[in-house]
Structure 1
């Protein structure tokens, strides 16, 4: 039980169903759907549609999604890849010929075909009990009538408003009066409301064909993009086989590449060789150890993870005991090291939510437009932001993640599912761009190894070693920064809070759901 003399949130306990999202309106809409008889899939897509309106810098219908869904009694989750592909005309040689060395975040070339609507439609058709038109109604009302801007949304909106300035349609919609809305302001999106109504009436095809697709293609090609109506018409989500590993007796499931969930499993495999229980390591040793393992995992990710339809990703080798042993052997607890790719495999911004319903169906769901406000490009008649996930492609010939025709880029967004003895234990996830692999590991080890409850695990301070630096949240004492620098880390205080977690833990023995929601965001866990 938490210390009630300290500030913080309590874990939410429920006996029937629970939701956890990063926005209060999304949590409320999901709970309303559950109480009206909808299942976990219905509630999840209701919630994400609401966030597509009320959390516009994080997610939207112009983005991608992934999901892990475990129907009641299933021994393993179903994985859905709802990430979009590059245009069929995209070829790495063309971009190199244009003098590009990387794909700019705010260019049309960063826009892959949005996969969210295709994924929502497929998931509802196969596993929901409501139509796409039904689950979109709360989002339509909010877009039409307006919604109040929440504090964390307002903070991020103001911080990244400058990114919107290059697109006049984006400015008109998202900077009303020339400025970002403040917390508590009422914001309306009538163009998005009209677009959502068309999707509600016409389903998937209303988005990927006809006037809506034409609107997006016209705007992208006007800016120099290679997109065509055929690219949009051919968009589809697909079921894939999840990747998994065991950690301390639990089965951890992630979506396979082109996502980075494989990295979570690699890191857990390496960490299982250490005693992470309370008192086994001091906090400085723990932060250092996680940084050293994390750097190795991300180094392999950046060199090897890609669309498996276009590249060979050595999944079995990276999940092998040999890789985990090598990773541990590379760790010097006294000083920071430089990661390298294991020779055996060497190659020549987001919302997350989860729902458990009254029948025990559980869904782990993540939807994103990548960077804040995505590409910042808005189709003028449709009123939604297009994501910039294609910026994750590399412009290096022969690289597994090099851009190519109809190819999916490496994705950072990853839903997770925890199971044990063939039963679902917890849908979980941690939004936060590149941090997400590390976020999954910190969340799970806080609970499994350190004995924290769901909410305590989210409120613990976080660290993240990436791109040559080690970020520490300022909740750590000042001495931690000095300790990490003394070991050779380029340590610094994090400028922004690291990540945003949601989780629902299922206690089968007691018949209780324990739900937690990220304190670094505006959302909440609710249940009944």
Structure 2
């Protein structure tokens, strides 16, 4: 037998290594897009993706499948969503050839006012317990969508989630990790351990988890409609529970709730139209970031370059200062949306960026007044749904009403207690919201439905996806897999101010040379292995008549079609 020389070994190794290289030549790990003709489902949990496809194959449309997937995720990913939270949607209706927006966020309790927090010496609204609980808008959002655009019976739409809740499903590693993290701080609240820790501990990876309480709740909703949740026994149980815990959310608060149809707001970005929902969400911030970036030659700077990252970070800081000052419930304050997303305003804000130095603070504009899941579904008729839904802070407030199988959200924490602030707490007011769906059209036709979950990461994540696609020419999957940056420490809608420039976290594929150069410009670099969001997207190729699907490689997500 011949002796293998080191040179020969390296030659053989290079053949195998090169054979596995991505044909794109990109220096980060990615995978192929999913391509299908008849329908596409992209969710953060493979079993939920399969539920959506089953609904499509059974004759349902994208709206039906999105509701079914959301209900399934409320069971399987309670660390990100559930019917105790709110919902926002942008959808393309193939029949009318138009985009529609739905704001399914709930309001604060009628009987709780700002004086309560002052008298009890609160400097902020607590993160957990009964005080941050606002009306959960998810279920009404489902039925509002279904009444206008749905096709199948709601009982059939909810049945897969009911069966999984009754018979159980294997918990994934990622969700087990987040459930266990939440369990340690929420198990002290009545009903939480009974629902999520039946054996005295949170489920581990691969363990079959059942939620019979949620199965019964879903059955009641399937039979009695949205009123079963907001005016029936469920509402009475929620009200009684919250009162016992010292909170204020009442039966009357639930009974008076309704979702709102809103017009998505657009900007032009290099010939593409990017759409977000208006406040009380933060989608406008993504548009403001992009409006500033489009006046820079981003493509020439190059992906991952110091110049690009610096420009992006500074544009984000500028947008978030306006976010902190202006974004709130539009029923309570006149918000200058058209000015905020105007080209003239973007050009004025752009002048504040120093290309050589990171700013420690920026002024908000002076204008005339005024953990989460994301999924996207498309069907053979051409309908496309961009849906995001959340409890906030993973598993929410910890408030787990008796035998209902879900946790109530803690969105009220995001109100400010500063008098005169646009987002200051008031009765029957919708809090500032972090969850935002997005959509891109081209020449008035649907192009991409996408979203990226993760608190304040969302608008900066949306903007990074758009630049990856349009400026850097990445495909749909690459745009999501590309390493991201996250800037934190900006001024907040709760009242905190940025005074030191905040901090920047970068995923591991950015070079050390770039990191050093950012430090030299005055940016503070903070290591963080997570917190970069969770992405799903569907692109429609009208010329070929196919859908392209992409799903977040950082989480459990799956894109699948047929």
TM-score, normalization by structure 1: 0.97
* Counterpart selection for 2:374 from 330, 338, 352: 352
Is 2:242 the counterpart of 1:220?
yes
Distance in 2 (CA, whole Å) between partners of 1:70 and 1:488 is: 43
Task: Report SS of the residue matched to 1:68.
Answer: strand
- For residues 343 and 34 of structure 1, do their structure 2 counterparts lie closer, same or farther at Cα, with a shift above 3 Å needed? closer
Is 2:542 the counterpart of 1:508?
yes
In the alignment, which residue of structure 2 is the partner of 1:152?
Answer: 174
Is 2:518 the counterpart of 1:499?
no
Deviation of 1:484 (Å): 2.2
Deviation of 1:103 (Å): 0.7
Distance in 1 (CA, whole Å) between partners of 2:341 and 2:47 is: 39
In the alignment, which residue of structure 2 is the partner of 1:182?
Answer: 204
Give unpaired runs (5+ residues) of structure 2.
Answer: 1-22, 490-501
* Counterpart selection for 2:111 from 75, 83, 89: 89
* Counterpart selection for 1:320 from 330, 336, 342: 342
* Counterpart selection for 1:402 from 419, 424, 432: 424
* Counterpart selection for 2:292 from 250, 260, 270: 270
Task: Report SS of the residue matched to 2:56.
Answer: helix
In the alignment, which residue of structure 2 is the partner of 1:251?
Answer: 273
| TM-superposition CA deviations, 1:186-231 (whole Å, max 9, x none) | 1111111111111111110111122211111112112221121110
Distance in 2 (CA, whole Å) between partners of 1:410 and 1:505 is: 29
Deviation of 1:439 (Å): 0.8
| TM-superposition CA deviations, 1:336-378 (whole Å, max 9, x none) | 1034334422889110001110010111011100111111110
Contact 1:104 1:391 in 2 (8 A): yes
Distance in 2 (CA, whole Å) between partners of 1:280 and 1:218 is: 57
Is 2:52 the counterpart of 1:30?
yes
**Aligned residue pair count:** 528
Of 433-442 and 329-338, more deviation after overlay is shown by 329-338
Give unpaired runs (5+ residues) of structure 1.
Answer: none
Deviation of 1:404 (Å): 0.8
In the alignment, which residue of structure 2 is the partner of 1:488?
Answer: 522
Is 2:86 the counterpart of 1:52?
no
Distance in 1 (CA, whole Å) between partners of 2:173 and 2:304 is: 35
Task: Report SS of the residue matched to 2:539.
Answer: strand
In the alignment, which residue of structure 1 is the partner of 2:393?
Answer: 371
Q: How does 1:350-499 map to 2 (within 5 A)?
A: 350-467=372-489, 468-499=502-533
Task: Report SS of the residue matched to 1:391.
Answer: helix
In the alignment, which residue of structure 1 is the partner of 2:137?
Answer: 115
In the alignment, which residue of structure 1 is the partner of 2:10?
Answer: none
Distance in 2 (CA, whole Å) between partners of 1:435 and 1:4 is: 24
Q: How does 1:12-23 map to 2 (within 5 A)?
A: 12-23=34-45
In the alignment, which residue of structure 2 is the partner of 1:8?
Answer: 30
| TM-superposition CA deviations, 1:20-65 (whole Å, max 9, x none) | 1110011000011111111010010010000000001110010000
Distance in 2 (CA, whole Å) between partners of 1:19 and 1:380 is: 33
Would you identify which runs of 4 or more consecutive aligned residues in structure 1 move more than 6 Å? none
Task: Report SS of the residue matched to 1:395.
Answer: coil
Distance in 2 (CA, whole Å) between partners of 1:76 and 1:93 is: 44
Contact 1:473 1:497 in 2 (8 A): no
Distance in 2 (CA, whole Å) between partners of 1:456 and 1:280 is: 15
Task: Report SS of the residue matched to 2:47.
Answer: helix
Distance in 2 (CA, whole Å) between partners of 1:4 and 1:313 is: 42
Task: Report SS of the residue matched to 1:41.
Answer: helix
RMSD: 1.8
- For residues 2 and 173 of structure 1, do their structure 2 counterparts lie closer, same or farther at Cα, with a shift above 3 Å needed? farther
